[in-house]
Amino acid sequence: MKPPPFSYHRPATVTEAVTMLDELGPDAKILAGGQSLVPMLNMRLATPAHLIDINRLDELAYVRVEPEGVRVGALARHADVEHDAAAGRAIPLLAEALRSVAHPTIRNRGTTVGSIVHADPSGEMTAVLCLLDGEVTLVSRRGERTVPAQDFFVAPLTSAAEADELATSALFRRPTGAATGTAWMEVARRHGDYALCGVGAVVTLNEAGALTTVRTAYISMGPIPQTLDLTLEAIGSNGDWRAVGEAAAAQLEPEEDIHATARYRRQLAVVLTARACRLAAERAERARRAAPSHPTGGAGRTGSGVEGER
């Protein structure tokens, strides 16, 4: 459990970092929080020739509320995002989902963007990014580009980022609509473990309280995070969230592993979809009632996710 030799590089600026990435080639790996990479190094599952440590890139250590949503810099730790009050007000789902990411000590060190780039289909924030129509900003010597979440996750542990690209930030979009509620639910074997199934839900109501969108996203239910639009099913089911869950599960193809059968995972998808959608709908309804007048700016109201209904 000791890594093979590698060269260690510590750039001071993003420009320097992407120059190094370009010059060192595909044998270089970015080290941010190291919560996945370092164990992989120690088990010799990853053997990069170069590590580029971006922990000195203070310019990337931010959590910023922008008009569109919350932008998270590549050096923001999970805990920074989880405890950022403005981000919490803008998108309560962020903190709610982050509380399921491992344990506090890991969240103190691990970065949100790092876990997204790691593209583990069990990583909560991959699904949250998809659910919130987020995007990832990639910088290389060639320039900067933005990849939408739906295109970012390619395969397990594989993202759309090229070898010479540094992910500098991720944008989580604030859900729009008259009144929105969100929820995150998962079942894990132990507190903080990778979920056997995790579900995020966004439910939007119009001013009359009718459903306008129901969307869900899943972790541990496929090779990449899975996103479903369940609006039609939800409207059709007339408040029967269990039926919505059944409809969702029918569209998922989870695999068996040593902790759960595929059938059990599908059962969890049914149950957790129903529970998460029900809770998100209740929160949306609460948000709608709390703001009877028309909201301005089109940003809508987002139901708080801090009731602690887990």
Partner 1 sequence: MTTRMIGEPIPRREDPRLVTGQGRYLDDLGAGALQVAFVRSPHAHARIVDIDVTDALDVDGLVAIYTYEDLAAADEAGSSHLSEPLPLLIPHPDLTHPRTAYPLARDEVNHVGEPVVMVVATDRYVAEDVCDRIRVNYEVLPAVVGLDAAIEATHLVHPDIPGNIGAHMVQERGDARAAIAAAPHRLELDLEIERSASMPMEGRGVYARWDADDRTLRVYTSTQAATSVRAAIAAKLAVPIDRVEVIAPDVGGGFGVKVVHPWPEEVLIPWAAMRLGREVKWTEDRREHFISSAHERGQKQKVRVGFDDDGRLLGMEFQVWHDHGAYTPYGLIVPIITTTQVLGPYKPGAYRGEFWSLYTNTVIVTPYRGAGRPQGCFAMERTMDAIADYLGLDRTVVRERNFIQPEEMPYDHGLVFQDGRGLVYDSGNYPALLDKLKALVGWDSFAEYAEQARAEGRRVGIGLACYVEGTGVGPYEGAHVRVETTGEVVVATGLTTQGQGHQTMLAQIVADELGVPVERVTVTTGDTRRFKYAVGTFASRTAVMSGNAAALAARKVRAKALRIASEALEVDPSDLEIVDGVVRVRGVPSSPGAKTEIPLSTVAVLSNPLRYAFDAEAARATQFAVGGSSEEPPVAEDDEPGLEAVDYYSPPRSTFAAGMHAAIVETDPETAEIKVLRYCVVHDCGNLINPRIVEGQIHGGVAQGVGGALYERMVYDSAGQLLNASFMDFLMPYASEVPTVETDHLQTPSPLNPLGVKGAGEAGVIPAAAVFASAISDAEGFAITRMPISPSELFELRERFAAGEIPPLRSRSGHISGEGRFVRAKEDSR
Q: Per CB under 8 A, does 310 bind partner 1?
A: no
CB of 261 to partner 1, least distance (A): 5
**Residue 268: other Cβ atoms inside 10 A:** 25
Q: Per CB under 8 A, does 3 bind partner 1?
A: yes
Q: Per CB under 8 A, does 259 bind partner 1?
A: yes
* Alpha-carbon span 132 to 8, nearest angstrom: 36
Q: Give yes or no for a contact between 218 and 269, defined as CB atoms under 8 angstroms apart.
A: yes
CB of 98 to partner 1, least distance (A): 17
Q: Per CB under 8 A, does 264 bind partner 1?
A: yes
Q: Give yes or no for a contact between 252 and 226, defined as CB atoms under 8 angstroms apart.
A: yes
- Interface pattern 199-238 for partner 1 (x via CB under 8 A): ----------------------------------------
Among 8, 67, 143, 190, binds partner 1 (CB under 8 A): 190
Count of residues engaged in binding partner 1, rule: CB under 8 A: 25
Q: Give yes or no for a contact between 283 and 303, defined as CB atoms under 8 angstroms apart.
A: yes
- Interface pattern 147-186 for partner 1 (x via CB under 8 A): ----------------------------------------
* Alpha-carbon span 258 to 193, nearest angstrom: 14
Here the tokens at position 87 are 């981000």
CB of 299 to partner 1, least distance (A): 35
CB of 40 to partner 1, least distance (A): 11
Here the tokens at position 217 are 């996203």
Q: Outline where DSSP puts E strands in 69-194.
A: 69-73, 135-140, 143-148, 153-155, 158-159, 166-173, 179-188
Among 167, 252, 268, 277, binds partner 1 (CB under 8 A): 268
* Alpha-carbon span 208 to 188, nearest angstrom: 37
Q: Give yes or no for a contact between 193 and 269, defined as CB atoms under 8 angstroms apart.
A: no
Q: Per CB under 8 A, does 34 bind partner 1?
A: no
CB nearer to partner 1: pick between 36 and 213? 36
* Alpha-carbon span 92 to 249, nearest angstrom: 25
Q: Per CB under 8 A, does 294 bind partner 1?
A: no
Q: Per CB under 8 A, does 95 bind partner 1?
A: no
Q: Per CB under 8 A, does 271 bind partner 1?
A: yes
* Alpha-carbon span 216 to 244, nearest angstrom: 11
Residues that bind partner 1 (CB under 8 A): 1-5, 43-44, 187, 189-194, 196, 258-261, 263-264, 267-268, 271-272
